[in-house]
């Protein structure tokens, strides 16, 4: 990603505009680039991606036009590339989550094999919550702490709390739909306004079929893409 700045630090002035570029290596099919600032996916704010032929493969490039904001101080801007057809072939990483219920003061987890460890203390408000709430919060904290290492990997979670297992298995709010190939489904897509452009781009990239439901808002920035 460019510009890289000095020691990966770029000085940003509030209100000024900066252009960041991300270019992938060769792959087949073309990789899909996603942008993040901190933990927020901001791909919908970027310009359309332009895969370019490279022999029998493709390279992808994307540009982010960013305007400095006070609330983004000390946040990381980075890009990640996903090759959708290869996603199911990525080796999985196993994550074990563990809560120290006896003390109710701390939580921890680690990855099996390479032993990356995450540990943290509960604050006063967390301590009065139920053990199930704390263990769910631990799962969230651990995955967020390891998100860069887990990018493009399938993750197995292990916990001895049966309530957490049931909640994780039945819930779907944590699934990133844009990480999947939509061409395998007859899609009903009802995105929020902020994700309409990204949804249209993803449908085109996947050559997907389906119904897209959006408000008739002709002055919206996404309308030309519709």
Domain range list for the chain: 17-86, 93-170, 181-225
**Confidence band of 113 (pLDDT split at 50, 70, 90):** low
Fold of 93-170: Ubiquitin-like (UB roll) (3.10.20)
**Residue 175: its pLDDT value, please?**
55
Domain 17-86 maps to which CATH number in 2.30.30.110, 3.80.30.20, 1.10.357.10, 2.60.40.10?
2.60.40.10
- Lowest mean pLDDT across 1-10, 58-67, 183-192: 1-10
**Confidence band of 27 (pLDDT split at 50, 70, 90):** confident
Region 48-53: mean pLDDT is 75
> Is the model's pTM score more than 0.85?
no
More confident residue, 173 or 128: 128
Contact 189, 201 (CB under 8 A): no
Region 76-94: mean pLDDT is 55
**Confidence band of 114 (pLDDT split at 50, 70, 90):** low
Calculate helix-pair angle for 162-170, 131-145, nearest 10 degrees.
60
User: E-assigned strands of the chain?
Assistant: 17-23, 32-37, 40-41, 52-54, 57-59, 61-67, 77-82, 93-99, 106-111, 117-121, 155-158, 186-189, 209-212
**Residue 83 pLDDT greater than 50, yes or no:** yes
**Residue 92 pLDDT greater than 60, yes or no:** no
Beta bridge partner(s), residue 27: 58
Region 188-214: mean pLDDT is 88
Beta bridge partner(s), residue 79: 35
Region 140-148: mean pLDDT is 80
Q: What is the share, in percent, of the chain residues with pLDDT greater than 90?
A: 2
Which of 102, 206, 225, 204 minimizes the C-alpha distance to 214? 225
**Residue 211: its pLDDT value, please?**
92
């Amino acid at each position: 990603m460019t510009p890289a700045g000095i020691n990966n630090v770029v000085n940003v002035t509030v209100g000024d505009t900066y252009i960041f570029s991300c270019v992938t290596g060769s792959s087949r099919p073309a990789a899909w680039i996603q942008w993040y600032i901190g933990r927020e996916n901001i791909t919908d704010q970027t310009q359309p991606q332009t895969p370019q032929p490279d022999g029998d493969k493709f390279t992808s490039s994307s540009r982010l036009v960013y305007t400095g904001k006070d609330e983004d101080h000390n946040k990381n801007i980075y890009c990640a590339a996903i090759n959708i057809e290869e996603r199911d072939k990525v080796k999985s990483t196993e994550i074990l989550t563990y809560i120290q219920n006896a003390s109710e003061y701390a939580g921890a987890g680690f990855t099996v094999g390479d032993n990356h460890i995450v540990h943290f203390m509960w604050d006063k408000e967390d301590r009065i919550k139920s053990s199930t709430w704390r263990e769910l919060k631990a799962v969230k904290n651990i995955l967020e702490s390891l998100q860069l290492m887990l990018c493009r990997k399938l993750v197995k979670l292990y916990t001895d709390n049966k309530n957490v297992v049931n909640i994780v298995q039945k819930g779907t709010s944590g699934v990133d739909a844009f990480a999947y190939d939509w061409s395998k489904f007859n899609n009903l897509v009802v995105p929020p306004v902020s994700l309409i452009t990204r949804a249209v781009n993803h449908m085109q990239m996947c050559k997907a079929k389906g119904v897209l439901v959006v408000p008739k808002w002709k002055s919206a920035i996404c309308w030309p893409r519709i």
